[in-house]
Amino acid sequence: MELRAGVSKQGIREQIWDYMEAQNIAEFPWPVHRRIPNFKDAYLACQNIKDLEFFAKTQEVKVDPDKPLEGVRLLALQSKKTLLVPTPRLRTGLFNRITPPPGATKDILRKCATSQGVRDYSVPVDLDARVLVDLVVVGSVAVSEKGWRIGKGEGFADLEYAMMASMGAVSQGTPVVTIVHDCQVIDIPEALLEDHDLTVDYILTPTRVIATGCERPKPTGIIWSKISCSMMGRIPILRSLRSREKQAGRDVTLKDEQPHLEARSQHSAPPGTVRRPGGPAQPEAGSPNGEDVPSDTVYVGNLPQDTRVSELKKALRERGAAPLRLTWQGPQHRAFLHFLDPASAQEALSRLQGLHLGANTLKVELAGQQRASDPAGGHARDPHPDH
């Protein structure tokens, strides 16, 4: 499949999702957008993992809970391997161990491999438990034959791997496999790769087994400077890992705590700015200094009167564009969405185009671009950061 010129990660995702739906390749669950897409013959693609020589020797296998990987989870259980599955959105820890009941039949094992089985037959793995993962299997939206991977845009597979590396559960020699449809194997521009992105060593499709020979180093641990305080609040295990690394003398400064941002907030805020508690100074909407609004911030305007912040949050989640932090300015009919980095903000911008609340089509732009056309007008009062 040929990519459009000047494509972004989100553009690639949208193109893959659209193509798989248009060509009737995608399978349940629906909608395929904003998911690791399931596809016809996914189970056949999973069977190809048996052709990898190291699979028979593995003992502990980490497999993501995505639907197209169900066949690998089943093979792991049938082969009596220890099957580890990440906890949903990492809310309660890193891994669950799937533990079938004694004497489980083939039907029970099949159920254990499903998303429902993952919930019903899983046991949490304590952070202090000794885990040594022999094989990592991840889902992908797109992947290149060079081993470069694009997920659904939430970064959990990358973070999970970084956490495993931090715990010593994986090494650079631990093979990483992804399972996709043939149409998901495309050329990905190297310029889109970031230092936290996970690469893959093998790609399994219904028709091919691709050894990528990828030499790009995988993450060796958590890049704390890309982790926000908001993310720390949502993922408790990060707090435990950070405490351990801090005790070990490592630099665990978070994105929100970067010294240059603190200095800017305290000493060099330009006229017409407001400060958010715990964050850098932000220019007022509509101020002549609006060009200093960071490009990791998205402006949402034309909110209907009496809109509640919970209604906006729900709409953002449904579009897969939930921010790290939201600054609410309901009386001015607007809000500001703060993301991890400019790339994340740009992806959210793409996802939110055409968003409606009530009868209003919301105006969505990178913050600073709205100065001349903000229908609310005037200057922003002290923003209300809604965590």
CB proximity list for 102: less than 8 A, separation 6 or greater: none
Task: Determine the straight-line distance between the first and last CA of the chain, rounded to whole angstroms.
Answer: 41
CB proximity list for 325: less than 8 A, separation 6 or greater: 228, 230, 279, 337, 338, 385, 386, 387
pLDDT greater than 80 at residue 380: no
pLDDT greater than 50 at residue 375: no
Residue 30: count of CB within 10 angstroms of its CB: 11
What is the per-residue pLDDT across 146-173, written as a single tens digit (0 to 9) for each? 999 999 887 788 888 988 888 888 888 8
Mean pLDDT of the chain: 81
Q: Are 240 and 255 in contact (CB under 8 A)?
A: no
Q: Which CATH architecture has domain 297-366?
A: 2-Layer Sandwich (3.30)
**Domains of the chain, residue spans:** 9-211, 297-366
Task: Write down the residue that tokens 């891994």 correspond to.
Answer: 95
Residue 83, phi then psi, degrees to nearest 5 = -105, 120
* β-strand pairing of 202-204 with 209-211: antiparallel
- 326 forms beta bridges with 337, 386
What is the per-residue pLDDT across 111-145, written as a single tens digit (0 to 9) for each? 999 988 888 888 888 777 788 999 999 999 999 99
In whole angstroms, give the CA distance from residue 151 to residue 159. 12
What is the per-residue pLDDT across 195-209, written as a single tens digit (0 to 9) for each? 888 999 999 999 999
Lowest mean pLDDT, pick from 8-22, 39-53, 232-246, 252-266: 252-266
pLDDT greater than 60 at residue 293: no
CB proximity list for 77: less than 8 A, separation 6 or greater: 83, 98, 100, 109, 112, 113
Q: Is the pTM of this model over 0.85?
A: no
Q: Are 150 and 140 in contact (CB under 8 A)?
A: yes
| Averaged pLDDT for residues 324-337 | 87
Q: Which CATH architecture has domain 9-211?
A: 3-Layer(aba) Sandwich (3.40)
* β-strand pairing of 281-283 with 273-275: antiparallel
Res. 296 pLDDT band, cuts 50 70 90: confident
